Every structure is written in C-alpha cells, then in structure tokens.
Amino acid sequence: MNVVATPQIPTTPAGPELIAALRALLGEKGLLTGVEDMRPFLTDWRGQLTGSAVAVARPSSTEEVAGLVRLCAAAGVAIVPQGGNTGLMGGATPYAHHAGIVVSMGRMNRVIEVDPLGYTMTVESGCVLQTLQELAAHHDRLLPLSLGAQGSCTIGGNLSTNAGGAQVLHYGNTRGFVLGLEVVLPSGEVWDGLKALKKDNTGYDLKHLFIGAEGTLGIITKAVIKVWPKPKDVATAWICIRDPQAAVELLSEAHTASENSVTSCELMNRTNLDGVFRHVPGCVDPLPAGESPYFLLMEWSSALPKAGVMAGRMEEFLGAAMERGLVLDAVIAQSEGQAKAMWHIRESHAEAGRHDGPGASYDISVASSRIPAFIEDASRAVRAVLADVRPGPMGHMGDGNLHFNFKAPIGMSAEQWRQYKPAVTRAVNDLLRDYGGSISAEHGIGSEKVGELAHYADPVKMATMRAIKRALDPQNLMNPGKIFEV
C-alpha cells in the first residue's frame, strides 16, 4: 500500500480539548476515535493510499457541520471532507501526517423534497447516488448521473468532483444538474444558496465555486438537483467496430438517425475487456468472436412510451453501417436484463483493473473527433518508453473522455513497472498538452495529480484559484494540499 504524498500543509493536532468539544457537539455516534473504527475512512477505495487522522466526525445536520468547522477553525486544525470514499485521485483521503479530522457526510442522507412537476429534488449531500436514482424513477423521473460507484458514492462527493459518467454525452456532467447549494464555509458560516431557480442573475454564481472544488473551499451540505423525464423506450447495443475512427463516424451519424436521442456511447478495447471477463464473475462476452479489438456500447432512449421504436431505428442504422464496413458485428439487447448485463461489463472495468496486474490509467479528455489520432499517437509515445506495454483505451467516446489504460508487459512486477510509470505519465500528458486536452476529465485532481496540474496548467488560472482559496480559507484548513499547494 502506498502512503499519500506529503506536501506542506497545516499539521496542528486535534488535541483533547477539541475532541471533547466535538464529542459534546456530535454525540458518541458522531465521533470516531478508535483505530479500527476509523480505518475505513483513512484508506481510499482502491486500497492504494492511506493516511491518518485523530478523529472521524460524522455530523447529522448542517448545524453540526457548521459547529465542528468553527471549532476546528478556532483551533487551527485541518479538515478532510469525505463522501462515499469512492474517489480515484485521493481527494478524500487524509495525508500520512494529517493530525486533524476527517468529516464523513454519510449520516446526512435525508431527502428534503421531491418536486416531480418542477423536475427537481432537494437532498442532503450524504445521499447515495443510486438511492436518488431509484427515488427519481419512483416518481417517473430520471437522475442521469451514472457511474460504476453509484451504489456507494454520495451526491456530495459527485458535486465536489463534478462527476461525469456514462450519460454526459446527452445530459451533461454534474455541474449542469445543480440549481442550488447549501455550503458550510471554512469560517463555519453557512451560505444558503438552496434555490430551485433556473434563472438567478444576481452577480457571481457561487455554486460553481464549490462544484469541482474537492472540498477545498467548503463542505456541501444540501443541493437542489435537476431530474429529467424517465426514458420509456431504450435501445442498447454492443457493437464490434472497425477501429476508433469508425466510432467517431458512427456516433456522428447516430445523432441524426436517432433524432438526437443518443444517451451513451462507450468505447472499449479487447485488452481491458479480457481483464473484465477474467476477474469479474457473471460477465459474459456478448460478441466473443469479435473481429476487431474495438467495441462500442451505445444507447438510444426516448421518453415517449413507444416500445421498440428506438430498437427498430438502431437496427436499421447498424445494418447500414455494417454494409459500409464501419460495423463488423453487433447485438441489440432484447430485454432490460440483457442491457443491464452489457452495462455491468462496462462498469466492471475499474474493479477488474485492481486484479489485472500493474498498470496506469489516465482520465483524460481531448476533442472527441481527435480521439482516434490521440489513441494512435499516445500508444506510439508510450511504446517508445516501454516497447511491450499493452495499451487499453476505453471510455466515454461521446464527450471525448478516455480512461486510457496502459498495462505492464506480461510478467513485469509492480516494482519494475514503477520505474517506468513517471516516463509513461510524462509521455501521455505532454501529448495531451499538444492536443489541447485535459489531464483530468472527470476524476478530479485530489492528491494524485497535484504535481501534474502545477506542471501543465495555465499560470494565470493557478494564481486565480490560489487567490480564491486564500480569500475563503485563509488558514488553509479545508482539505489542504488537494488540487494544489497554496
């Protein structure tokens, strides 16, 4: 297990007086100090990063969050906010020398209001994403944020990282779902921006400061989020394609053929899929004899209750694409169960990666039309570092977000791989710079990419972000050392 890197951050310990005050505020259920009790909150989901804390606070209300933040601010003690602890960049994991507290928001999981007529839900930040998806469906509505960790990630964590997922292509990312927020600032003051307004032109739109800020500017406690009509007619296809360029052309044409109803388009690679079929029980290859290493999982959907219309259009579209050589083979799900099985394969990539030997995964984005060229150039650049590396590009084709995996050569140990990884990272990120891309498309920066952001980001942007951080958090106590060092 790796230990989180150690930047220069506040290390004032949470002393006995603060712990006693926190216990009086939160109660016995609201404060954990035992080693075993705290352990799940101090290690990231991947089991790769671990840190320390004097206590884990588990507030049950905004008032308790505000109170504990005021106590920590007065004592100069750093705070690490945490949602479902499913992040991949270490943003919710304390550093090894962290002597403060972790604030877990899991007890703040109440649904305040569902407004089906107004297409909104008002919720506390500790609500699990899947719970909210199911609640929306119960009201014949759709919360389109969809990702592999949805059974355990929380909406507050999703907001703090501006999560993406499989349906960004059609519905946009998390930032576009939010109408209003309630946030506890580093001072302990509460900003009440919890409004269900689609228009509010009264100066700076403060909610966008906190969405994607990874808990460095405050703690999101409540949110008003948008929902959409629940799809009634859904067509899902597993498609073997000629190559990534065929994927670009197919998606471009699918927008028109589906009457702008393409909700997802996921690119997958045989290298990664083989890992899923080896390591994740219940995953069965829909096209085991695929003639190409590249596949798409494409979904079209409509809110109109006309069962089979989408599937009919998709079948006609794929048939024409097959005649032109873009599609080599395809299967359209014949039931909701088959569609879920296809999505389970896609969503199991992260889990399979934990068991498939050493490697590196890059959450990157480029203009979607440039994905084929980037895949070719990046594979060439990394093979120049390590000839037998195994590239495995996959991800959200429609919005330009690739999770570009590079697996170590067969038989290479993790220790050997670590010697090459820095050069692999530099090769990928230098190419991203030349392509005008981003080193983080949806996972955030956390602690893992602090150095990379500092290396590649525009200096004016970095200076502006630091100025905002200093203005709101002058003591640098709110998740210090994440995203950047102040």
Mean pLDDT along residues 66-85: 97
pLDDT of residue 311: 96
Mean pLDDT along residues 166-171: 92
Average pLDDT, the chain: 94
d(CA 450, CA 481): 8
What structural domains and CATH numbers belong to the chain? 2-106 (3.30.43.10), 111-229 (3.30.465.10), 233-350 (3.30.70.2190), 357-435 (3.30.70.2740)
pLDDT at 265 > cutoff 80: yes
d(CA 398, CA 254): 11
pLDDT of residue 1: 39
pLDDT at 421 > cutoff 50: yes
Q: Greater confidence, 353 or 258? A: 258
pLDDT of residue 47: 84
Per-residue pLDDT reduced to its tens digit, 205-214: 999 999 999 9
pLDDT of residue 2: 45
pLDDT at 43 > cutoff 70: yes
